[in-house]
Structure 1
């Protein structure tokens, strides 16, 4: 395995793991412990987007604007019962860095 130094944004993904925030489980060869889930202070998947495939199903999550995601998260913390329309007031849609067109989108009524 290669040792690597993480960028500040990557370090935010592992912050406070030593504070008992999540359960730990054995790694692949039972030699070390690893987090059962990866808590994150930074909404990596929403901001950077992702593409993946598993069990015959694919996913494509478009990247979103960090400030908009932060505003939506703050709103949801202040009002946990907020509906989709209230959250979309803060996060209106994806932020495609190279431009793009969403095909097959049905506008929210």
Structure 2
């Protein structure tokens, strides 16, 4: 993507690794002009919520305003838990309400495998 000029709102989604979005997301956002755009971060994670993504994107998405972020957590039972906003006040989705794109991460004989939640 060379420009976000055609968009008013940009959703930035990634996993959270070690409390932050992967460095490629910073490289991606630093190369774009977010002046006048609204950025909404969303993440998947095992335990760290949005981590530092809101702070990191605020530094790399110069000129943007930020909407409330969303973090989707996979639990061992396979039911995603969503967290949003400053401090990530928790709210739990039922299996029927769970987003179809959420990944469930389960240990499998020392390896990690990914499965769709539904």
TM superposition score category, shorter chain reference? under 0.3
TM-score (norm 1): 0.22
Radius of gyration: which is bigger?
1
Q: Give the structure with the larger helix fraction.
A: 1
Higher strand residue share: 2
TM-score, with normalisation over the residues of structure 2?
A: 0.21
Q: Which has the higher contact order (CA 8 A, sep 6+)?
A: 2
